[in-house]
Structure 1
């Protein structure tokens, strides 16, 4: 298995929160992380139907454009009572429509969509859910490696906490009473879906 050496690694994201979290996880291994956004790289169309496909699309695009090893994260929330939705469309549910203001993502709106659909089902709605994370590494020559992680929990309402991003304020991991947005970031880094995937990546790439 090919390994990353210390040095520059492009993080294929334009999301500042995601860059900060990934950079913190990789800091002990001598990686200098720079985002695709900081390099001015375009965001490729995520046309895959799985987290693995979308992570590979983003990693390969960044590696080709930068000619540096690149790491992409594709992650999302799946709710049992909604048949696994939003799943790979997690970010799409946060996209504003033309009548909802300036382009961008509105995560409160996205969380509200999940809650609205659960409430429409009624009290019997299954609120169990899970966050998935797929990390894909791509090298400029086309070689790739993929690592998958998961954390299970429950959807809560209303949103609580200011420490997370995305759907974190409505996700309570199993074994806790706090949402991901209330948990100390160091604790979240230890138990999250991204941490699970990173543990597998680190074991193979830096072990």
Structure 2
């Protein structure tokens, strides 16, 4: 059994990756930051998803001595030239307020016609080994932005985002957890990462 650290305190994200790893790499025990001795966490200062994911994974591997996984993700809106991008969580300010972020994004997109409301969620998942080996895996979920928030099964921009791959015309926040994990940017990146671990 190989112990792997997921550099997060988000229990939902930990559960999601445990589900994926159990299907792809059975000999893995996944722990989170709350399960290891605490250490100073580096701020996400990079300008790319992969850069921020690597910052967190390197920290975890260096301080814990464990193979460490970390991810960074966000929303890239076509009409905003790919923004909010790596600033997704802080789009309306440093307080990381989902409701304020959604309100600001809807205001910025208010005069954009439906045919130009394309967007995609992007995830970079980094895998760093204590010996210095590094890999980054990517996932995307394409779709479009709605004009009002709908649904409660999600966070961030999920209530505004209609995924192209959804079985029905619903937002990410209206999908079941199973369907969301199957088609999401994070799910795709973590499946690729889990397959690499299994090898």
CA RMSD of aligned residues (A): 2.0
**For residues 68 and 25 of structure 1, what CA distance do their matches in structure 2 show?**
19
2:149 matches 1:171: no
Instruction: Give the TM-score normalised by the residue count of structure 1.
Output: 0.85
Distance between the aligned counterparts of 1:38 and 1:197, measured in 2? Answer: 23
Structure 2: gaps of 5 or more residues: none
Aligned to 2:176: 184
Cα-to-partner distance string for 1:127-158 (whole Å, 9 max, x where unaligned): 10001111100111211111111110011132
Gaps of 5+ in 1: 1-5, 98-104
Aligned pair in 2 of structure 1 residues 58, 165: CA closer, same or farther (>3 Å)?
Answer: same
Among 65, 68, 84, the alignment partner of 1:70 is 68
> What residue in structure 2 maps to residue 142 of structure 1?
132
Q: Counterpart of 2:194?
A: 202
8 Å CA contact retained: 2:127, 2:193: no
Query: Which of 12, 31, 36 pairs up with 1:34?
Result: 31
Contact map agreement 2:145 2:162 (CA 8 A) in 1 = yes
1:111–1:41 CA distance, 2 compared to 1 (3 A):
farther
SS in structure 2 at match of 1:62 = helix
- Structure 1 segments (4+ residues) deviating >3 Å: 94-97, 121-125
Which moves more between the two structures, 58-67 or 40-49? 40-49
The alignment of Structure 1 onto Structure 2 pairs a total of residues equal to 194
Distance 1:7 1:26 in 2: 12
| Distance change (3 Å), C-alpha of 1:76 and 1:184 | same
Shift of 1:94: 5.7
Does the aligned pair in 2 maintain the 1:17–1:165 contact within 8 Å? Answer: no
Distance, in Å, in 1 between the alignment partners of 2:109 and 2:165 is 22
Q: 1:14 aligns with which of 9, 15, 26?
A: 9
Are 1:128 and 2:127 counterparts? no
Deviations 1:55-107 (A, max 9, x none): 1111001111111110001111001111110101112226555xxxxxxx321
